[in-house]
Amino acid sequence: MKKLITVIMPVYNTAKYLKDSIESIINQNIDSLELIIINDGSTDNSAEIINEYVSKYEFLKCITQSNQGQGSARNKGIQLSTGKYIYFMDSDDILELNALKTITDKLEEFQLDALFFDGKSFMDEENNQHYHRDLGRTNYSRKRSYGLFNSGQELWSQLIKHNDYTVSPCLYVLKKEVIMNNELFFEEGIIHEDQLFSTLLFFSLNKCAHYNWEFFKRRIRDGSTMTSSHIERKLNGYIEVFNKLTSFYSEASFKTEFIKNQFKEYLSEILILISLTANVINIRFNSKTLSEVRKNAIKHSYFSKKAYLACKYVKLYVILSRIKNKPLRG
C-alpha cells in the first residue's frame, strides 16, 4: 500500500543515538508513514536496535548493505519507497514532534513540489570547546520565512541573495515524482553529495515554499561527517560537485539573467573552496586534477575576482579573508 510520506534513514555506526532518532520519527503522529532504514554496513550494535523496532512496527523496513556511503543508502531508499513525499533523516539527529504532519498538511494544501524548513544545532556533550566552535558554524535557522514561490529557481535566488542558503536534505520534504521525473539521485562515493543534490533539486521544482520552522535538530558530535577531517575526500568531493554543476550551468535554462549570474557566482565560491581545501593539504592548484578544474573555470568564465585571487594567490587570499573576517559559504 502506498503511503503519504516515506522517511529514509541511512545508518552507519550510530547505535548511541539511533533510538532517539527512530523514536522522533515513529512519534510523528501521522497515519500514513513509511520508515525505511538502510543499515550501511554498521559494525556496532545498530542492527540489533533496528531489528527491535522492525519487530514492533509494520511501517518500518530495514535494508542491510555493505558500507557504500550515505549517497548510495539514500538512493536505495528512494527506489524502495512508496510514499508520495520523501524525507531524508540522519540517524544521529532528531525531528520535532508533529513536524511531518505540519509539513505534509501544507504540501497538500498548496500542492507543492517541496517544502523547506529550518533546524537548530545542539551539542552532544557539554563544556566542549570543539563542539562550541562547530555549533556556531552549523546553525540551520534562516533569517525569516520566504514563503511561497512558483519555481525553485526563484526561492534559491532569494536564499542566495540573503546568505540563507544551506544544502542539508534534512531540511526539506519533496515529492517523489520530482526525483523520478528528473532522475535526481545522489552522487555516490563522494563527500558533499548533499550540495550537488540539493542545488539541482531547486532547479527541478515548480511550486515550493520555505517556512522558518525549526523542526530539525542537528547533533554536533565527534566523528560525524560534520566534524571529521577527511580533507582529501572533501577536496575530491568539491571537485566532483564543481564539475557536475558547471556542466549543468552550460545547459540550464535560467528564468532571469540575475539568477544565471548568481549561479556563476555560486560556482565561483565552490572554486574558492577547492583552492582553500587544496592549500590545507599542500596540494598545488596546478597539479593535474586541479589544473583541469582551473582550465574549465577559465574557459567558461566562472571566475569572480575573489575566485581568481584564491586560485592564483591562495595564501594572500587567506590573509585578506582573515583581515576582513568574512567566512565563506560552503
DSSP classification of residue 31: S
Q: Which three cell numbers stand for residue 125?
A: 556533550
Q: At residue 324, does pLDDT exceed 70?
A: no
* Mean pLDDT along residues 189-198: 94
In degrees, to the nearest 5, what angle opens at C-alpha 110 toward C-alphas 105 and 115? 70
Indicate the pLDDT class of residue 134, thresholds 50, 70 and 90: very low
User: What is the bridge-based pairing of β-strands 60-65 and 172-175?
Assistant: unpaired
Report the amino acid identity of residue 83.
G
- pTM for the predicted model, two decimal places: 0.89
pLDDT at 156: 98
Q: At residue 135, does pLDDT exceed 50?
A: no
Closest of 175, 153, 156 to residue 167, by C-alpha: 156
3-state secondary structure of 70: helix
Q: At residue 328, does pLDDT exceed 60?
A: no
CA distances from 257 to 153, 261, 320 (A): 12, 6, 30
Higher pLDDT, 231 or 262: 262
Share of the chain above pLDDT 70, in %: 86
pLDDT at 327: 47
φ, ψ (nearest 5 deg) of residue 254? -90, 140
Q: How far apart are CA 108 and CA 85, in angstroms?
A: 10
pLDDT at 322: 63
Q: How far apart are CA 225 and CA 259, in angstroms?
A: 31
Q: How far apart are CA 112 and CA 208, in angstroms?
A: 5
pLDDT at 280: 78
pLDDT at 285: 67
Cα 37 off chain centre by: 18
User: What is the bridge-based pairing of β-strands 172-175 and 114-123?
Assistant: antiparallel
Please, how many CA atoms are within 13 Å of residue 286, restricted to the half-sphere of its CB? Answer: 2
* Mean pLDDT along residues 243-272: 93
Summary mean pLDDT of the chain: 88
* Mean pLDDT along residues 9-22: 96
Q: Residue 291 contacts by C-beta under 8 Å, 6 or more apart in sequence?
A: 285
pLDDT digits (tens, 9 = 90+) for 196-243: 999 999 999 999 999 999 999 999 876 544 444 578 888 889 999 999
pLDDT at 229: 53
